[in-house]
Amino acid sequence: MLIQEKITIRQFALLTFLVMVGDMILIYPSLVTAFGKQDAWLCSLLSQPLGMFIMWVLYKLHQTHPNLSLIEISQKLLGRWAGSALSFAYLFYFAIGAAICIREVGDFMTTQIYLQTPIRVILIMFICPLIWGLFNGLSTMGKTIELLTPIVVVFMILLFLGLLPQAEISKLQPFLNTPWFSLVEGVIRAAFTSFGELIVLSMVLPYVVSGAHIKRDLLLATFIGGLLLSVLLMMSLMIFGPFLTQHEIYISYTLSQKINVGNFFERIEALMAIAWLIATYAKSQLYIFAFVAGMAQMFGLKTYKLLVLPSAMLIFGLAILIAPNVLFYTNTIMPAWVDWDITSSFIIPLILLLVHQIRYGKNQSSTKSST
């Protein structure tokens, strides 16, 4: 195997949770409310079963060849040429995903906190610890996730508890006043903008310590992450209403500015920013890891660490070039990204499962009948 290190099931579950919430902590409410309006919370809840089915498909694909990553499975099932073409498509997806996560950090910091700081400085400061983590290996990355995840959970709980006195259920009314077509589209987007991006986990699954509870912990971590995003969306609607939730890009950051408990516990937006940066850091690091590990597997290298620095430079350039400003990103890239998620995380894995069944199903059935 390319990587000899392993991460524990608990570290993998925590990584799944952080990747699930990732950059979605800030942008998920506005994404879903754009279609679901005041019924966006219902779209988010209804998207959970669809998201769990997406994860089931990804895990079934992993089970076809438990010791292989997504890149290696593609080449094994489709052959050298078709498999390589699909592998390059996934590598491009991982690179763009990493660039978008990093660019989101730059846009957020330069528009909300460090208004006079050039975005390139912010991006370099964010990429440097990503490079350091990748050089230290998968095991160190897993331990870092294990250390940082409780911080995200505690800060999110503080956010919800601080907002409860201001929540108004009346802002969720009228109930089911949104056209059914918009509701269905809201459910699809809620599922694939959060669960769909977890296809990147298939690059790490071969390096998880084998155990009986991998599937259970994977599904549980994604369920908890989806539930957290649903609660966050509902809080946004009950405090700001559908209009502001839809049009405020960083609605969660704005929510944290509303907290005021006894004129003592207030303005915890710095804690919210820290939680979001930690989750986005984990997601960005996994995307870059998937890219460099996939490249090493494609070209038969003995280690991926030779590719870390040039890949980081490439992704830094992509993060600068991918959008001229945050409005272009939200209005152009984000709507099209959902279609890419649907293709990469659901349609293609289903096709790969079908190919596996066609190529190996008969052999497996004949083996079972002979025994």
Closest CA to 17 of 151, 124, 172: 151
In this prediction, residue 178 carries a pLDDT of: 80
In this prediction, residue 364 carries a pLDDT of: 56
In this prediction, residue 339 carries a pLDDT of: 84
In this prediction, residue 1 carries a pLDDT of: 61
Contact, 322 vs 106, CB < 8 A? no
In this prediction, residue 288 carries a pLDDT of: 93
Length of the chain, please?
A: 371
Beta pairing partners, 208:
7
For residue 289, count other CB atoms closer than 10 A to its CB. Answer: 24
For residue 299, report the phi and psi dihedrals to the nearest 5 degrees: -100, 10
Contact, 55 vs 197, CB < 8 A? no
Instruction: Kindly state the helix (H) or strand (E) to which residue 260 belongs, with its residue range.
Output: strand 260-261
What amino acid is encoded at 90 in this protein? Y
**102/157 Cα distance (integer angstroms):** 25
For residue 213, count other CB atoms closer than 10 A to its CB. Answer: 11
**219/289 Cα distance (integer angstroms):** 22
DSSP one-letter code for 110: I
- Which CA distances in Å does 24 have to 135, 170, 328? 27, 25, 18
In tens digits, the chain (371 residues) has pLDDT values of 677 788 889 999 999 999 988 888 888 888 888 888 888 888 889 999 999 999 999 999 988 888 888 998 998 888 888 888 999 999 999 999 999 889 988 888 888 888 888 989 999 999 999 999 898 888 888 899 999 999 988 888 888 888 888 888 888 888 887 888 888 888 888 888 888 888 999 999 889 888 778 888 889 999 999 999 999 999 888 888 888 888 887 888 888 887 777 666 666 778 888 888 899 999 999 999 999 999 998 888 888 888 999 999 999 999 998 877 777 777 777 777 888 888 888 999 999 999 988 877 755 544 444 44
Closest CA to 286 of 87, 166, 141, 139: 141
Contact, 138 vs 308, CB < 8 A? no
Phi-psi region of 79 (alpha: psi -120 to 50; beta: other; left: phi over 0): left
DSSP one-letter code for 333: I
